[in-house]
Amino acid sequence: MTYDAIIIGGGHNGLCTAAYLAKAGRKVLVLERRHLVGGAAVSEEIYPGFTYTVCSYVVSLLRPWIIRDLNLAKHGLHVLPLEAAFTPLPDGRSLCRWPDPHKTREEIAQFSVKDADRYPEFGKAMGQLARFAKLIIDKPAPDPATWSPRELMDLLGLSRKFRDLGDDMASLQFKLATMSSADFLDEWFESDVLKAPMSVSGIIGTMLGVRSPGTAYVLLHHYMGEIDGASRAWGFAKGGNGAVSNALAGAAVEHGAEIRVNAGVERVLLKGGKAVGVVLSGSGDEIRAKTVISTCEPRLTFLGMVGEENLPDPFVAQMKRYKLRGSSGKVNFALDRFPEFSARPGDGPHVRGDVAICPSIDYLETAYDEAKYGDFSQRPFLNLVIPSLLDPGMAPPGKHVMSAFVQYAPYHIKEGPSHWPERREAFGDAVTDTIAEYVPGFKEMILHRQVLTPWDLEQEFGLTEGNIFHGELSADQLLFNRPTAGWARYRTPVKNLWLAGSGAHPGGGVMAAPGALAAMQMLKERAV
Amino acid sequence: MRVVVIGAGVNGLVAAIRLARAGRLVTVVERRDLFGGIAAGEEFHTDYHHIGLTHDSAEVRGEVIKQLGLQGGYGLQLRPPAPLFIAEPDGRGLVLEEQGSELAERSIEAAEGLARWELLQEAFRPAVRMVLREEAPDVRQEAALLPLLKKGWMVRGIGEDHLLELLRIGPLCVDDWMEEFVEDPLIRTAVLWPALVGAWMGPRSPYSATNLLMDAASHEYEIIGGPAALVKSLLLAAADAGVSLRSATEAKAIQVSDGRATGVILADGEVLKGQVLVASAPSTLLDLIPAWKLPSRLVRDLTNVRVRGTTAKLHLALSGELQVAARGETFERMLLGASHPMDLERAFDDVKHRRLPRRPWLDVRLLTGDSAPEGHSVASIMVHCAPYDLDGGWTDEARAEFTERVMAVLEESCPGVRELVVHSELLTPPDLEERYGLPGGHLFHGERMVDQFYVMRPSLHLSRHTTDLPGLFVGSMGTHSGGGVTGGPGMLAAERMIATPR
């Protein structure tokens, strides 16, 4: 029996591709190495009674058209808005940004009246640019080297739209695309307390600092987020991010896709230079299909599953220099009681969003410097979410789970990545100690702690070098360069092998766009 | 038709000559009592001269030299760049020169890698040169879409693969880019450091590769006698063209009437009538015209130009020559204090955190001949990295400590240097601001970074050397195609003034 398509990897992108292809009537098989689907979007009960949203932890850029196309709400996806962005400071002051502009204004005015005045203006400008950026992430990548008249028209259309932004906006867009997030914000604001939490969106998952050029661009993401079509920054999936994957799996299965867990792929089966199926690891079983779609990270896909000998040399060279360089870790806590922030006590709305530990630009930059020389940050940037406040089902009554995204934790520590297990607890302690500076008595309330270093992310979740985005989201690896020049349209140098994970355009994050766009491209080209 | 040029730096002089030759009556006013701006040679101690604040002259645009005929009647002489010695701890270091064999002796692989890298530069050179030679396109005008498109096609002329490669390389950090060719950190350092001069960047900063691309494409020859010799030659040409040069003359304000710039008001109240070319830092416009007379976006753009100085200058008058102990030789150009790209990165970390560099890296020029008495010499040292906004300020203690750290690095390669020092002059970034009128103490009137380059230098509205006020033009290294000692912006500004209907 043959399938139309085998999808390697049951992460959110793989499931999304499967759902789209199955919906179009194709016979699809999804193969997942772990015992559950979801990849880096999973919820697991690691400690009895407590559900961790193990890796990714918020929903921001999940494309609304995918939610509609696949009817994900019917399959159990329920996104709860995260409506506050809270930044406690070690000196007891704090800043909280709210959906209500008046409340936010008052908060910012504590630190700078000038900034409070400019904040709405900034949001307006960003919103305008975000609309332009969406033109790019909801379509296959533009190809600047194209000679096809249709694509040239598309390019021209895109440059027209760019020009129609007006020169002030065009100039801003260019700055946004190239500047560092700290420099970019410096042009608008004076208060470090405001700039620091705004700037961090530019560094998440990258081996760069807020003062590194090119990081400003991701500021837009904050203004691009949509939940159910409404512009909103962040949301939290009821049940954790596993719920996103489960909904996608539900949609895929409903349309007839087959999903197998505990089915890791050893390599892609080739015949006459074409992909004809896969070989499973362990059993060595072969499964045949007309096409193979990998949603694994590109370097792993090509150098690990296809093999250098089956690829053209220049492509191998490109894959070897593909930058992964994971820079972040994750720590999940089961807590005996509510973690109270001394800067603003209580479990009010301010902690029902995300809590950013980043008191200043210098703090962030120092954290980066440590990582640059091969160590994890002693005082890292943390993005904390307390899911049990939003979804009480995630912890027993009165108890809580806390998710801590941690940066920086460089994969390449100076001892070498394989030495991460020896440093795991020290890393976890740095995170605990940092939180304890803001949450008195934090250490005493910890019932269980799950520490995921970049090494663990690689070993357990197949995120090569611990990179949460399947490859740095730097300008040299985006758009027509993702994963590499000439192969940004989901095709690969191996016939019948396609790429549909975060290593494909438009890249990482729980967007599901690469998975959906790849499926659409394949259907359009009648490749499956 | 009269023109007043503010600032007699290289760009002011180039523009003045070009305009005078086109029949304009040109007056150049210079605040200092000598001409040349950052290119001016100075006697910093009796009988000891340096050849300019930035001692490099390899970026001077060939077309400017040619168009002004500086090589013929005005005494300018070119030569291939001098070999560069780069030191390494516990080693002989390396001499990098055009036809050098040392590289291959050190490592065949590195020599081959570097050859591959240079080959790639050859392919990019026409495209990069075109960008540096021509006026920036006017992205605001519908009609300009055509030249833009044409430019696009010409860039495409370099071939699809190279176009994609150029787009990939641009955003890279220069260390990653070099690592694709050369493993040896010493050689990488020797090649990539110029990308960081005048940039608020370390070798790990994205987009620093763009700076190196620009450097590699523009360097070819240097001027014998350095920037100071260029100034000498320009002054001869200016005199010939009938340019009136006034030193120790400070422009106080630009006269604006009926929304037009009509002249320059000097500190003593004298008014010089004419069109105005600002060849000092673009942001000086804000000192010369009250903000309320300027469009708000112009004020905003000029305020936002990033000018964070990262370089100090140390001039040493020496009673002998600097000898590299590991070689028993002297070298005209040396790079000291960095043998690994991460050394450069650490120095940048210090600037970022507003502290003295733990270990500065030095771009040294050893000057002999006319620069110093017989048997003596001058060390002209660009010291990286030095923050403009040093925490605690540039106190006497900070200056002394800084100089000490520079001397320690010098001493490593050239032991005994301290005994040779007859006199030293330290110019910190705030000193540079004060002496040369460089805002932020920044060498180039604007950090080298892709968003302050080409159509964005200094901003989308000023990159074509015109301003919102008729009769007012800008043409310093803070505008396209600066910075550095190039003469490019001055020439482009002059051409624009000539082409602009009055």
> Model ipTM?
0.93
**Scanning every residue of chain A, which has its alpha carbon at the shortest distance from the alpha carbon of B353?**
A362
- A195 contacts A361 by C-beta, under 8 angstroms: yes
- Are residues B304 and A481, on separate chains, in Cβ contact within 8 Å? no
The tokens describing A389, both together, are 């406040």
More confident residue, B72 or A224: B72
C-alpha distance from B455 to closest chain A C-alpha (Å): 9
Residue B95 inside a domain? The answer is no
The tokens describing B398, both together, are 């900070």
Q: Domain boundary at B199, B218, B237, which?
A: B218
Q: Domain boundary at B183, B203, B218, which?
A: B218
Domain that holds residue B286: 2-78+223-306+446-499
User: What are the structural domains, with CATH classification, of chain A?
Assistant: 3-41+240-321+473-524 (3.50.50.60), 96-236 (no CATH), 324-464 (3.90.660)
C-alpha distance from B442 to closest chain A C-alpha (Å): 16
The DSSP line for B116-174 is: HHHHHHHHHHHHHHHHHHSPPP-TTSGGGHHHHHHHHHHHHTT-HHHHHHHHHHTTS-H
For residue A187, the chain B residues in CB contact (below 8 A) are 304
For residue A369, the chain B residues in CB contact (below 8 A) are 349
Residues of B with CB under 8 A from a CB of A: 139-140, 145, 156, 160, 163-165, 167-172, 176, 180, 201, 204-208, 297, 304, 306, 342, 345, 349, 352-353, 449-451, 456, 459-461
Which of A144, A168, A369 lies at the smallest CB-CB distance from B163? Answer: A144
- Are residues B206 and A480, on separate chains, in Cβ contact within 8 Å? no
Q: Are residues B193 and B298 in the same domain?
A: no
What pLDDT score does A227 carry?
45
Q: Residue B485 sits in a domain of what CATH number? A: 3.50.50.60
Residue B181 inside a domain? The answer is yes
Which of A168, A178, A481 lies at the smallest CB-CB distance from B207? Answer: A178
- Are residues B207 and A214, on separate chains, in Cβ contact within 8 Å? yes
- Are residues B450 and A178, on separate chains, in Cβ contact within 8 Å? yes
The tokens describing B419, both together, are 């005994």
For residue B461, the chain A residues in CB contact (below 8 A) are 167
Q: Are residues B43 and B57 in the same domain?
A: yes
What pLDDT score does A269 carry?
97
**Scanning every residue of chain A, which has its alpha carbon at the shortest distance from the alpha carbon of B301?**
A187
What pLDDT score does B297 carry?
87
- Are residues A144 and B176, on separate chains, in Cβ contact within 8 Å? no
For residue A211, the chain B residues in CB contact (below 8 A) are 352
Residues of A with CB under 8 A from a CB of B: 144-145, 163, 167-168, 170-171, 174-175, 178-179, 183, 187, 208, 211-214, 321, 323, 362, 365-366, 369, 372-373, 474-476, 480-481, 485-486
Number of domain units in chain B:
3
Q: Are residues B317 and B423 in the same domain?
A: yes
Q: Are residues B320 and B416 in the same domain?
A: yes
**Scanning every residue of chain A, which has its alpha carbon at the shortest distance from the alpha carbon of B180?**
A321
Residue B92 inside a domain? The answer is no
Residue B153 inside a domain? The answer is yes
- Are residues A323 and B180, on separate chains, in Cβ contact within 8 Å? no
C-alpha distance from A528 to closest chain B C-alpha (Å): 29
d(CA A350, CA B12): 57
Q: Are residues B158 and B188 in the same domain?
A: yes
Which of B140, B168, B206 lies at the smallest CB-CB distance from A213? Answer: B206
Q: Tell me the per-residue pLDDT of A48-65, one tens digit each, with 9 for 90 and over.
A: 999 999 999 998 788 889
Q: Domain boundary at B200, B218, B236, which?
A: B218
Which of A214, A373, A485 lies at the smallest CB-CB distance from B206? Answer: A214
pTM: 0.95
Q: Tell me the per-residue pLDDT of A484-515, one tens digit each, with 9 for 90 and over.
A: 988 999 999 999 999 999 999 999 889 999 99
For residue A480, the chain B residues in CB contact (below 8 A) are 164, 167
C-alpha distance from A137 to closest chain B C-alpha (Å): 19
Phi, psi of A315 (to 5 degrees): -70, -40
d(CA A97, CA A189): 15
The DSSP line for B334-396 is: EEES-SSHHHHHHHHHHHHTT---SS-EEEEEEE-GGGSSTT-EEEEEEEE---TT-TT-S-H
The tokens describing B5, both together, are 């040029």
Which has the closest alpha carbon to A485: A318, A317, A325, A324?
A: A318
Q: Are residues B402 and B451 in the same domain?
A: no
- Are residues B206 and A183, on separate chains, in Cβ contact within 8 Å? no
Residue B197 inside a domain? The answer is yes
Q: Are residues B191 and B134 in the same domain?
A: yes
Q: How many helices (H) and strands (E) does chain B have?
A: 17, 19
- Are residues B352 and A365, on separate chains, in Cβ contact within 8 Å? yes
Backbone torsion region of residue B274, taken as left when φ is above 0, otherwise alpha when ψ lies between -120 and 50, otherwise beta: left
pLDDT cut 70: percent of chain A above it = 97
- Are residues B206 and A168, on separate chains, in Cβ contact within 8 Å? no
What pLDDT score does A137 carry?
80
Q: Averaged over A414-443, what is the pLDDT?
A: 98
Q: Are residues B302 and B358 in the same domain?
A: no
Q: Are residues B58 and B16 in the same domain?
A: yes
Checking if the pLDDT of A160 tops 70, the result is yes
- Are residues B170 and A476, on separate chains, in Cβ contact within 8 Å? yes
Q: What is the pLDDT along chain B (502 residues), one digit of tens a residue?
A: 899 999 999 999 999 999 999 999 999 999 999 999 999 999 999 999 999 999 999 999 999 999 999 998 899 999 999 999 999 998 899 999 877 789 999 999 999 999 999 999 988 888 888 888 889 888 766 555 556 666 666 666 677 778 788 889 999 999 999 999 999 999 999 999 999 999 999 999 999 999 999 988 887 899 999 999 999 999 999 999 999 999 999 999 999 999 899 999 999 999 999 999 999 999 999 999 999 989 888 999 999 999 999 999 999 999 999 999 999 999 999 999 999 999 999 999 999 999 999 999 999 999 999 999 999 999 999 999 999 999 999 999 999 999 999 999 999 999 999 999 999 999 999 999 999 999 999 999 999 999 999 989 999 889 999 999 999 999 999 999 988 999 999 999 999 999 998 7
For residue B459, the chain A residues in CB contact (below 8 A) are 171
For residue B201, the chain A residues in CB contact (below 8 A) are 213
For residue A321, the chain B residues in CB contact (below 8 A) are 180
Phi, psi of A278 (to 5 degrees): -135, 160
- Are residues B171 and A144, on separate chains, in Cβ contact within 8 Å? no
**How many CB pairs (< 8 A) connect A and B?**
77
- The CA-to-CA distance between both ends of chain A, in Å, stands at 16
The tokens describing A378, both together, are 């002693």
Q: Are residues B247 and B286 in the same domain?
A: yes
- Which of B158, B208, B297, B450 is the best mutation test for A, with the most CBs of A within 10 A? B450
C-alpha distance from A370 to closest chain B C-alpha (Å): 11
- Are residues B353 and A366, on separate chains, in Cβ contact within 8 Å? yes
For residue A56, how many C-alpha atoms fall within 13 Å in the half-sphere facing its CB? 31
d(CA B9, CA B231): 8
**Scanning every residue of chain A, which has its alpha carbon at the shortest distance from the alpha carbon of B302?**
A187
The tokens describing A487, both together, are 């192969």
Residue B268 inside a domain? The answer is yes
Phi, psi of A144 (to 5 degrees): -70, -20
Which of B163, B172, B205 lies at the smallest CB-CB distance from A476? Answer: B172
Q: Per the omega criterion (within 30 degrees of 0), is the bond before A483 cis?
A: yes
Three-state DSSP class for B93? coil
Checking if the pLDDT of A91 tops 90, the result is yes
For residue B297, the chain A residues in CB contact (below 8 A) are 168
- Are residues B204 and A213, on separate chains, in Cβ contact within 8 Å? no
Q: Are residues B315 and B423 in the same domain?
A: yes
Residue B48 inside a domain? The answer is yes
Question: Any idea which of A154-158, A239-243, B263-267 has the lowest mean pLDDT?
Answer: A154-158
d(CA B36, CA B15): 13
Residue B122 inside a domain? The answer is yes
Q: Averaged over A327-355, what is the pLDDT?
A: 97
For residue B168, the chain A residues in CB contact (below 8 A) are 476, 481, 485
Q: Are residues B488 and B406 in the same domain?
A: no
Which of A145, A163, A174 lies at the smallest CB-CB distance from B160? Answer: A145
**Scanning every residue of chain A, which has its alpha carbon at the shortest distance from the alpha carbon of B140?**
A167
